[in-house]
Amino acid sequence: MNALNFNHGLMKHSSFCNTNNPLDPEEFRRQGHMIIDFLADYYLNIEKYPVLSQVEPGYLRKRLPESTPYNPESIETILKDVQDHILPGVTHWQSPSYFAYFPSSGSIAGFLGEMLSTGFNVVGFNWISSPAATELESIVMDWLGEMLQLPKSFLFSGNGGGVLQGTTCEAILCTLVAARDQMLLRIGSQNVGKLVVYGSDQTHCSLQKAARIAGINPSNFRAIKTSKRASFSLSPDSLRSAICKDIDAGLIPLFLCATVGTTSTTAIDPLGSLSDVAKDYGLWLHVDAAYAGSVCICPEFRHVIDGVEGANSFSLNAHKWFLTTLDCCCLWVKDPRALIKSLSTNPEYLKNKATDSRQVVDYKDWQLTLSRRFRSLKLWFVLRSYGVAKLRDFLRSHVNMAKLFEGFVTSDKRFEIVVPRSFAVVCFRVLSPGMGKGASNANGTTTNGHTNGYTNGVNGHVNGHANGKGDDHDHNYMKEASTNELNRKLLESINKSGLVFMTHSIVGGVYVIRFAVGATLVEEKHVITAWKVVQEHANAILISENN
């Protein structure tokens, strides 16, 4: 059945469920087959949909009833509404022409593992609540840790261990809370207002949110400036300088989040030298490899996490670039006791002999929530269904396609690569007429890729006048501002076409377009088409600018 022509076969089984049992096995079988067929047809025809949803805010409320139906409706009726009303408002993250944000790659194994997990619907908060859920999680976390060549100290086979969180936001908050409580045991809870958290201005915004939730004084959050000269990685010297300044002010350094594959440009922080600084001052070092961690199973990329042995914790998102459906964040810690001490609860209604024996893992004490899903099933399915060799081939194919796109950009003198490509994300822009390649400001800085793109330009403009260099700064500022606006228009035009979807960031005051390869269905032909779309829209905009 073609998902685009769903109406033709929709009412074939139009009868309502003929049982009062919401989990009737035969009705489940019938409806389940319909859903699988619907999804299979969706993927077969996914390229026929605009990648970025073209609806306007509030569209859905106009289409659906104002209240819940009083009587049951058939699955056929509901699926018809999915086809007619929901799909138009879906941005198709699994489309082969999706190149936005970071990927959320799916797979048959990931989907079916998720389906099995949902079907079992266990709530595995402790070992006894579902022993297989706990034990499989411990096993797959050791498997994946070994694939990454993590130090044994991070594995259950050593003295550490791994846990599946929902997202990196949760992983960072859990580790930050553990670090906070460890420190307060030494210095006293009255000094919580002196604790300082460090990252770079490229660190994901989840660190700042976690610090706020953990009770860190907002004025004690440090987003250390980076520069294009250093490819926007965090400088150990700058970190050390910031720490010394805080110590001199009577503050207490607590936590450092280093990143391997930042959101804006996939910058790589130098783990080895940063861990040395962290060790010197007693900071908890967490390594956020949410995006790029997956590719480290490939030997040629493993070096980007060299120095991880000096970290206290390490995380990656298997739901980004590892064929495992959302949500599945893999967190390893060297000292699980630190998490357990901060996050454990032991009410009477959860007490049992297995927990009392201290021979089992109770994952409720490794996370924020009590309830937890059987996430390890889908990761287990992925690891077994594809194996190390095929997973490496999958990741390498995306890197090679990103190289292909990078070559297209460098071969067209109207465009430039803004920062070096590290993995499968290409950061580029079109140049204003008369600008040469490499014209972007190398000294600008930004915070989390979300600051106003003109802030640094404005500062340079004002400072230039103060230093007697107003004319040069005027010219450079106006040119950069014009180029930023040109790229904003270009990206908006590309995305409105529905043919591809890309997103942007601002680094060093420069508006960059991010081309992130990672969709499971993507092939070279989609990359070639995407470049043609970029060129066509650039042609139209440049002609219009010249007129």
Question: What's the pLDDT tens digit per position in 67-85?
Answer: 999 999 999 999 999 999 9
Q: Where are the alpha helices (DSSP H) in 283-370?
A: 318-321, 336-343, 353-357
- Residue 480 confidence (pLDDT): 86
The order of strands in the sheet holding 503-507 is 415-417, 425-430, 510-516, 503-507
Report the chain's C-alpha Rg in angstroms: 26
How far apart (Å, rounded) are the C-alpha atoms in residues 211 and 209?
5
Asked whether residue 19 carries a pLDDT value surpassing 90, the answer given is no
**Residue whose C-alpha is closest to residue 394's, from 421, 424, 420, 422:** 424
Amino acid identity for residue 190 in this structure: Q
Amino acid identity for residue 76 in this structure: E
- Please report which confidence band the pLDDT of residue 442 belongs to, taking 50, 70 and 90 as the band edges: very low
- Residue 54 confidence (pLDDT): 94
Asked whether residue 186 carries a pLDDT value surpassing 70, the answer given is yes
Q: How many CB atoms lie within 10 A of CB 143?
A: 17
Q: What is the pLDDT of residues 403-413, one digit of tens each?
A: 999 999 999 99
The full DSSP string for 502-530 is -EEEEETTEEEEEEE---TT--HHHHHHH
- Please report which confidence band the pLDDT of residue 433 belongs to, taking 50, 70 and 90 as the band edges: confident
Mean pLDDT, range 10-37, rounded to an integer = 77
Mean pLDDT, range 376-397, rounded to an integer = 97
Mean pLDDT, range 245-263, rounded to an integer = 98
How far apart (Å, rounded) are the C-alpha atoms in residues 248 and 370?
41
For residue 235, give both structure tokens.
Answer: 């400088």
- Residue 476 confidence (pLDDT): 73
Q: Return the exposure string of 482-515: e unless at least 16 CB atoms fall within 10 Å of the residue's CB, then b.
A: ebbebbebbbebbbeeebbbbbbbbbbbbbbbbb
Asked whether residue 459 carries a pLDDT value surpassing 80, the answer given is no
Mean pLDDT, range 442-458, rounded to an integer = 39
- Residue 544 confidence (pLDDT): 83
The answer to whether 164 and 375 are in contact (CB under 8 A) is yes
Mean pLDDT, range 241-267, rounded to an integer = 98
**Residue whose C-alpha is closest to residue 295's, from 322, 274, 275:** 322
Mean pLDDT, range 281-288, rounded to an integer = 98
Distances in Å between the Cα of 301 and the Cα atoms of 203, 265, 276, 539 are 21, 17, 22, 37
Asked whether residue 450 carries a pLDDT value surpassing 60, the answer given is no
**Residue whose C-alpha is closest to residue 477's, from 507, 506, 510:** 510
Choose between 468 and 129: higher pLDDT.
129
- Please report which confidence band the pLDDT of residue 17 belongs to, taking 50, 70 and 90 as the band edges: low
- What rounded mean pLDDT belongs to the chain? 90
For residue 70, give both structure tokens.
Answer: 């009083």
The answer to whether 254 and 197 are in contact (CB under 8 A) is yes
Share above pLDDT 90 across residues of the chain, in percent, rounded to a whole number: 85
Choose between 12 and 149: higher pLDDT.
149
Asked whether residue 465 carries a pLDDT value surpassing 90, the answer given is no
Mean pLDDT, range 223-245, rounded to an integer = 96
Mean pLDDT, range 79-98, rounded to an integer = 97
Domains annotated for the chain, with CATH where assigned, are 22-53+90-106+389-547 (3.90.1150.10), 152-341 (3.40.640.10)
Mean pLDDT, range 448-474, rounded to an integer = 44
- Residue 440 confidence (pLDDT): 57
- Please report which confidence band the pLDDT of residue 473 belongs to, taking 50, 70 and 90 as the band edges: low
Choose between 469 and 372: higher pLDDT.
372
Beta bridge partners of 169: none
How far apart (Å, rounded) are the C-alpha atoms in residues 46 and 54?
15
- Please report which confidence band the pLDDT of residue 546 belongs to, taking 50, 70 and 90 as the band edges: confident
Instruction: Name the CA dihedral angle for 330, 328, 321, 79, rounded to a multiple of 10 degrees.
Output: 180
Asked whether residue 388 carries a pLDDT value surpassing 70, the answer given is yes
Q: Return the exposure string of 313-332: e unless at least 16 CB atoms fall within 10 Å of the residue's CB, then b.
A: bbbbbbbbbbbbbbbbbbbb
Asked whether residue 169 carries a pLDDT value surpassing 70, the answer given is yes
Mean pLDDT, range 126-133, rounded to an integer = 93
How far apart (Å, rounded) are the C-alpha atoms in residues 279 and 450?
31
Asked whether residue 396 carries a pLDDT value surpassing 60, the answer given is yes
Mean pLDDT, range 257-277, rounded to an integer = 97
- Residue 471 confidence (pLDDT): 63
Cα-Cα-Cα-Cα dihedral sign, residues 365, 370, 371, 373:
negative
Q: Would you say the pTM of this structure is higher than 0.85?
A: yes
- Please report which confidence band the pLDDT of residue 4 belongs to, taking 50, 70 and 90 as the band edges: very low
- Residue 441 confidence (pLDDT): 52
Mean pLDDT, range 276-289, rounded to an integer = 98
Q: Return the exposure string of 37-53: e unless at least 16 CB atoms fall within 10 Å of the residue's CB, then b.
A: ebeebbeeebeebbbbb
Cis peptide preceding 327, ω within 30 of 0? yes
Choose between 351 and 433: higher pLDDT.
351
